Amino acid sequence: MELMFSVITPSFNQGRFIERTIQSVLSQNMECFEYFVVDGGSTDETVSILKKYEPKLRWISEKDKGQSHAVNKGICATSGEIICWLNSDDIYYPQTFQKVHRFFQLHPEVDILYGNANNIDENDSNIEAYPTKNWNLKWLKKTCFLCQPAVFFRRCIIERFGFLDEDLKYCMDYEYWLRLAYAGVKFAYLPKTLSASRVYSQTKTLGFRLDFHKEINNMMLKRFGRVPDRWLYNYVLVLFERKKMDRSNLLLVALSMISKSCFYALRWNRKVSFTMLSSSCKLFCKMLKEVFEKGTAI
């Protein structure tokens, strides 16, 4: 029996990319899928492009509450057994649906399938492979190694565990994977390259990196009661990148990073973990060693 795919594209003013996104879906060599674009009332050329591809896809263009709300609307308006969403600047590679369809048919016990992905630039050129890893629940809490456009899941997941959290603007996919994983949902990794995520300065992940990491930390605190040290370090690193500190003074940088990490540990977790204290000491000793070995400024 063939499984029907429901493909959802949330969109807002991505007219320069969305046609490539649409073509990557419609060019899949498989007929059993429905495609629904949920546009948030774009004022650029998006609507004219959507009209161009009728009736191969369905679309709406109206004000919404953001990306999570748009994806949830799309899920409610479709009925396929396999759900996936593809942002309006990302793409699928050829034969992706066939590979995913075959896997789900052979593995009825699997609820969520994820594959490899590339990060691409505005001109579709590869930047690097997304750092996807074999499934590991403990590691997922430390880093999101699932690339969202390379993730596919069964509709029964929605029926059992609900929709994306519409209060989240940046990490709604990461929160969903964590929520499902800790509920015991069965994940599987397909080591094939299925999609590409576009990376450029205007994306939410790059354009609002500090807000992105702050939301992750708040989400972690709400879901688990504490923020992992790794995410606290990531937040501090983004702060340092924004301030563009002079890194020639290694000791000053080390002391600043340690103090900031401890400050934000107290802010979110109300305590500094032994692991953070230990790793901070190691960082300081490492940089102190470099100062004496290389004669770096103190």
Delineate the domains of the chain, giving CATH numbers in brackets. 5-202 (3.90.550.10), 208-294 (no CATH)
Mean pLDDT of 43-52: 98
With a pLDDT cut of 90, the percent of the chain lying above it is 78
Mean pLDDT of 164-180: 97
Q: pLDDT at position 296, please?
A: 43
At 290, the pLDDT band (50, 70, 90 cuts) reads: low
With a pLDDT cut of 70, the percent of the chain lying above it is 91
Q: CA-to-CA distance for 44 and 62, rounded, in angstroms?
A: 13
Q: pLDDT at position 297, please?
A: 41
Is the confidence at residue 130, as pLDDT, over 90? Answer: yes
Is the confidence at residue 227, as pLDDT, over 60? Answer: yes
Q: Any long-range contacts for 49-55 (C-beta under 8 Å, 24+ apart)? A: 49/15, 49/18, 49/19, 49/22, 50/18, 50/22, 53/22, 53/26
Mean pLDDT of 51-68: 97
Mean pLDDT of 246-264: 80
As a whole number, the mean pLDDT across the chain is 92
Cβ proximity of 241 and 253 under 8 Å: no
Is the confidence at residue 122, as pLDDT, over 80? Answer: yes
Is the confidence at residue 151, as pLDDT, over 70? Answer: yes
Least confident of 64-68, 86-90, 222-226, 248-252: 248-252
Q: What is the pLDDT of residues 19-44, one digit of tens each?
A: 999 999 999 989 899 999 999 999 99
